[in-house]
């Protein structure tokens, strides 16, 4: 059986997406083509891992009637889940595509405050994980200490679990200071904030990413660059892949789709370079579909074939 990929989402969301002919102030804006998706970093990763044929468990903090709605959406998507109850209500985010300008507007609330007993219960739940992979994705909600992901990394190390992290700011810094991280996936802006300087020149970006890997704090660094593709850094050097040419229909969850495909390929025993290429393919497939993180498996596989220079790994699903 392939390794289980457990994801953790401390601040999940119900993602509402719709279109409008024009977004205007004061006036009532009529929307159409509405859809609801279970969202949040780890939730999106689990959904994509499942779409790509992997085994996953989505661990979420959920509260209130909106938390129950989130659970219902996950159940409808047939994504295995484990809920940790909280007193606050799960947040609702909204994305509106303005047809008149072809611009996308995203409204993302802060979400509920998580109490000490609630985040402590999350740590206890994670201590039950045995082996496999753990992906922690998203920002820390109010009430959770900044070293929370560093604590999770320590638990993963004790349990023999590979730890993948997608966050930013102090939470990322403290987790990397602790070390033992398998993969981090910052955006360029997040990586610059971590390093403490601008890295707009390719050589500076490559040097900084390789230095971080060679420091021993993380094994792989994948920096997503939007329309400029992505950069992978390993101890041996770097690989940069351009963005694939697709029709963009939505950007929500593209980074999570990238992370899901890359983590799944690594879990299946494929090389870092091959896994990175799968991530680029999944990110492109995600932006070519409306809604939150909806890359189709057939599209990801077709787009992976279009990435030249990186051999496709020979490890098959289920090995």
**Token pair of 154, please?**
């320590």
Token representation of residue 197: 């300087």
* Residue whose pair of structure tokens reads 């920096």 in the numeric block: 223
Known active-site residue 256: yes
CB count within 10 Å of CB 144 equals 21
Query: Per DSSP, what are the bridge partners of residue 58?
Result: 7, 81
CA 240, CA 222: separation in Å to the nearest integer? 10
Q: Which of 15, 37, 256, 274 is catalytic?
A: 256
User: φ, ψ for residue 189 (rounded to 5)?
Assistant: -60, -40
Tokens, residue 32: 């159409």
Identify any residues that bridge with 136 across adjacent strands, giving them in sequence order.
8, 165
**Do residues 224 and 259 touch, judged by C-beta distance below 8 A?**
no
What Rg value do the Cα atoms of the chain yield, rounded? 19
HSE-up (13 A, CA, CB side) for residue 207: 8
SS3 state of residue 25: coil
Q: Which residues contact 274 (CB under 8 A, 6 or more apart)?
A: 265, 310, 311, 312, 313
- Is residue 42 a contact partner of residue 56, using CB atoms and an 8 Å limit? no
Annotated catalytic residues are 256
């Amino acid at each position: 059986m392939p390794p289980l990929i457990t994801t953790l989402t401390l601040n999940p969301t119900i993602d509402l997406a719709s279109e409008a002919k024009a977004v205007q102030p004061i006036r009532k804006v009529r929307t159409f083509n509405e859809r609801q998706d279970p969202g949040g970093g780890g939730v999106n990763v689990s959904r994509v891992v499942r779409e790509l044929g992997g085994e996953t468990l989505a661990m979420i903090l959920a509260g209130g009637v909106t938390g129950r709605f989130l659970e219902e959406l996950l159940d409808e998507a047939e994504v295995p889940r484990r809920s940790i109850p909280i007193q606050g209500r799960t947040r609702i985010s909204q994305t509106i595509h303005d047809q008149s300008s072809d611009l996308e507007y995203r409204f993302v609330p802060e979400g509920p405050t998580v109490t000490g007993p609630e985040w402590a219960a999350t740590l206890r739940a994670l201590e039950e994980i045995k082996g496999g992979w753990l992906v922690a994705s998203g920002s820390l909600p109010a009430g959770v200490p900044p070293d929370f992901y560093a604590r999770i990394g320590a638990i993963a190390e004790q349990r023999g679990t590979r730890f993948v992290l997608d966050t930013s700011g102090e939470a990322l810094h403290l987790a990397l200071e602790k070390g033992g991280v398998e993969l981090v996936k910052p955006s360029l802006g997040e990586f610059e904030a971590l390093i403490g300087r601008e890295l707009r020149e390719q050589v500076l970006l490559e040097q900084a990413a390789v230095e971080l890997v060679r420091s021993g704090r993380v094994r792989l660094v994948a920096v997503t660059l939007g329309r400029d593709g992505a950069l992978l850094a390993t101890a041996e050097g770097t690989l940069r892949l351009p963005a694939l040419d697709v029709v963009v229909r939505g950007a929500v969850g593209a980074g999570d789709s990238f992370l899901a495909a890359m983590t799944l390929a690594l879990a299946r025993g494929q090389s870092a370079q091959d896994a990175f290429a799968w991530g680029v393919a999944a990110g492109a497939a995600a932006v070519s579909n409306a809604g939150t993180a909806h890359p189709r498996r057939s599209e990801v596989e077709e787009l992976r074939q279009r990435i030249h220079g990186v051999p496709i790994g020979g490890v098959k699903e289920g090995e």
